[in-house]
């Protein structure tokens, strides 16, 4: 990732940034040529019309600020159009049996066809989707999924038809800014530096600007792209908005984005389906607006999706694991209550409001799920050695909820440490020390709980809360 430290953090469509590198890497059916003479902003000729854009030329153009947006200056072979985009949706949905089941059961194909053909999409965005498909296929699939499921959720919510379409296009183009970042950065899976993570976050501004400059989309669609990483509890980015500041379309797109990460990436190589995301939905019911959670839950139920289910042969091991995890969650719950008490005693620290709200929501979620309760503990410890299918399934679902709840606690820890390290300094010194000690205690307990899970499961199940950006750990940590 040579030169990343000095790259400009502000996106501009005329810059020969990572997008030019992606173009230079294309070949075959997507070969790229200069559609006209390419000049820099001073009018100096850099590339003549008709010249193939290969990796070597793209490298020489790096850093130049061109007189026109890059997509106007190049021609990409076999750029997606309305018809081929619709075909891409078809291939994608058939590939995943549960996706196609939802699609068929809801009769959404008529809506999808209408959205794909009702009007042409801006050339610049379609060119970027084409490049994304060739260079970043995982991001391309996530875009298709977010448009498709986002539209379905919006329809399930009975939103007005224009808002359903806004949800579809926002889902389709919400990550186009990623094609302007270095390939190695977007594909990186762990170990981001602060600079790299800050650059990854700029894709939101890039996608938003590209949508806005087309002049073809509503304010709601553009706002949704800008907010697809924001969360109702204030832990999202780039602005850390609270629930009252957010629109529902952005939260639908954000939820769809994360469900892709769960279903396609976290569940890869298993029999799990979209139905297995329900524990995540329950635990995060108020993270994306409660009606959005309800609509998604009802949508999956109406489609007749079934979860992978428990293996009754593993009842003894499952019972032992759930008891262990539940006992750990009880200790975490007690630590959260102590943290909430401390935060409640220091309301003068206004910058801690988001953390206070997050802690209260996590406590409410745990209580509503019965986690950490004495009743649950007694039931678990009363279970005998003989299994039955119903009890086994209950344990399976409970463990999934415990696992998702652990990620909520980890979000509290990360958000709290971020507040202490990077937040405004209106937190009194003594309270800051007290808060740090409470967070460290919570972190130690959460770490012990994390280690109690099967190592392979834990490594594969990194949190998707920073939807699909790179290091899976970061996805869970930030909201």
Query: CB atoms < 10 A from the CB of 136, how many?
Result: 20
Q: Could you tell me if residue 331 is inside a domain? A: yes
Q: How far apart are CA 471 and CA 291, in angstroms?
A: 29
Check residue 349 and give its pLDDT. Answer: 65
Check residue 57 and give its pLDDT. Answer: 95
Same domain, 12 and 97: no
pLDDT range class, residue 15, cuts 50, 70, 90: confident
Q: How far apart are CA 152 and CA 168, in angstroms?
A: 9
CB 154, CB 99: distance < 8 Å: no
**Contacting residues for 384 by C-beta, under 8 A, at least 6 apart:** none
Same domain, 69 and 101: no
The answer on pLDDT for 332 being more than 60 is yes
Q: What single DSSP character describes residue 118?
A: S
pLDDT in tens, 425-444: 666 778 888 888 999 999 99
Same domain, 293 and 322: no
Same domain, 97 and 72: no
CB 178, CB 132: distance < 8 Å: yes
CB 254, CB 231: distance < 8 Å: yes
Same domain, 340 and 289: no
CB 297, CB 328: distance < 8 Å: no
CB 281, CB 296: distance < 8 Å: yes
DSSP string, 121-162: PPHHHHHHHHHHHHH-HHHHHHHHHHHHHHHHHHHHTT--HH
Same domain, 355 and 441: yes
Same domain, 384 and 272: no
Domain count, the chain: 3
pLDDT in tens, 265-322: 888 888 899 999 988 888 888 888 889 999 999 999 999 998 887 677 778 888 888 8
Same domain, 101 and 57: no
Helix axes 429-452, 315-344, angle to 10 degrees: 180
Domain's final residue, options 76, 95, 119:
76
Q: Could you tell me if residue 415 is inside a domain? A: yes
Same domain, 155 and 28: no
**Contacting residues for 265 by C-beta, under 8 A, at least 6 apart:** 138, 464, 468, 472
Q: Could you tell me if residue 425 is inside a domain? A: yes
Q: How far apart are CA 333 and CA 329, in angstroms?
A: 6
Beta-bridge partners for 15: 65
Residue of 317 and 472 predicted with greater confidence: 317
Domain range spanning residue 242?
A: 82-302
The answer on pLDDT for 356 being more than 90 is no
Q: What is the arithmetic mean of pLDDT over 40-65?
A: 94
Q: Which of 243, 257, 273 is nearest to 101 (CA)?
A: 273
Q: Could you tell me if residue 307 is inside a domain? A: no
CB 472, CB 190: distance < 8 Å: yes
Q: What is the pTM of this model?
A: 0.86
pLDDT in tens, 169-217: 999 999 999 999 999 999 987 778 888 888 899 999 999 999 999 999 9
Q: Which of 84, 133, 94, 86 is nearest to 111 (CA)?
A: 86
pLDDT above 90 coverage of the chain, percent: 52
* Neighbouring C-alpha atoms within 13 Å toward the C-beta of 212: 16
* Positions of E strands within 241-388: none
Q: How far apart are CA 265 and CA 263, in angstroms?
A: 6
Check residue 351 and give its pLDDT. Answer: 65
Q: Which of 387, 263, 370, 280 is nearest to 326 (CA)?
A: 370
Same domain, 320 and 274: no
Domain's final residue, options 278, 302, 326:
302
Same domain, 281 and 398: no
Domain's final residue, options 272, 302, 332:
302
Q: How far apart are CA 357 and CA 240, in angstroms?
A: 13
Q: Could you tell me if residue 59 is inside a domain? A: yes
pLDDT in tens, 400-423: 888 888 888 988 898 888 878 776
Chain centroid to Cα 420, Å, comes to 25
CB 20, CB 61: distance < 8 Å: yes
Q: What is the CATH number for 260?
A: 1.10.3210.10
Same domain, 275 and 161: yes
């Amino acid at each position: 990732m040579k030169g990343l430290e000095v790259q400009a953090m502000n996106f501009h469509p005329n810059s020969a940034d990572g997008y030019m590198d992606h173009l230079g890497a294309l070949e075959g059916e997507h070969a790229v040529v200069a559609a006209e003479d390419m000049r820099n902003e001073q009018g100096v000729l850099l590339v003549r019309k008709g010249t193939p854009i290969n990796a070597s030329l793209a490298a020489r153009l790096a850093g130049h600020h061109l007189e026109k947006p890059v997509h106007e200056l190049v021609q990409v072979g076999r750029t997606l159009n309305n018809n081929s985009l619709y075909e891409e949706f078809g291939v994608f949905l058939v590939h995943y049996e549960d996706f196609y089941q939802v699609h068929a059961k809801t009769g959404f194909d008529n809506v999808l066809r209408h959205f794909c053909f009702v009007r042409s999409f801006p050339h610049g965005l379609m060119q970027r989707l084409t490049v994304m498909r060739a260079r970043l296929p995982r991001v391309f699939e996530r875009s298709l999924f977010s448009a498709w499921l986002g539209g379905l959720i919006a329809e399930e919510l009975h939103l007005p038809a224009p808002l359903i379409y806004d949800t579809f296009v926002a889902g389709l183009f919400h990550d186009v800014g990623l094609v302007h970042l270095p390939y190695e950065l977007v594909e990186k899976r762990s170990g981001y530096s602060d600079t790299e993570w800050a650059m990854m976050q700029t894709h939101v501004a890039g996608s938003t600007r590209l949508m806005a400059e087309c002049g073809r989309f509503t304010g709601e669609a553009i706002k949704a792209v800008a907010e697809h990483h924001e969360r109702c509890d204030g832990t999202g980015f780039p602005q850390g908005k609270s629930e009252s500041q957010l629109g529902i379309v952005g939260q639908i797109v954000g939820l769809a984005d994360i469900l892709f990460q769960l279903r396609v990436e976290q569940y890869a190589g298993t029999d799990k389906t979209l139905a297995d995301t329900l524990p995540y939905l329950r635990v995060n019911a108020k993270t994306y607006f409660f009606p959005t959670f309800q609509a998604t839950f009802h949508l999956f139920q109406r489609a007749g999706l079934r979860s992978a289910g428990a293996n009754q042969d593993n009842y003894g091991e499952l019972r032992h694991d759930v008891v262990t995890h539940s006992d750990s969650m009880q200790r975490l719950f007690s630590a959260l209550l102590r943290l909430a008490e401390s935060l409640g005693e220091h309301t003068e620290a206004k910058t801690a409001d988001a953390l206070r709200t997050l802690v209260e929501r996590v406590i409410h979620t745990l209580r509503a799920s019965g986690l950490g309760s004495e009743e649950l503990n007694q039931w678990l410890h009363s279970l005998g050695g003989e299994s039955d299918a119903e009890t086994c399934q209950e344990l399976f679902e409970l463990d999934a909820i415990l696992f998702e709840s652990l990620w909520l606690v980890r979000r509290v820890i990360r958000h709290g440490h971020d507040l202490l390290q990077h937040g405004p300094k209106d937190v009194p010194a003594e309270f800051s020390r007290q808060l740090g000690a409470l967070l460290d205690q919570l972190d130690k307990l959460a770490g012990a709980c994390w280690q109690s899970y099967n190592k392979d499961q834990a490594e594969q199940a990194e949190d998707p809360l920073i939807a699909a950006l790179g290091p899976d750990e970061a996805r869970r940590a930030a909201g």
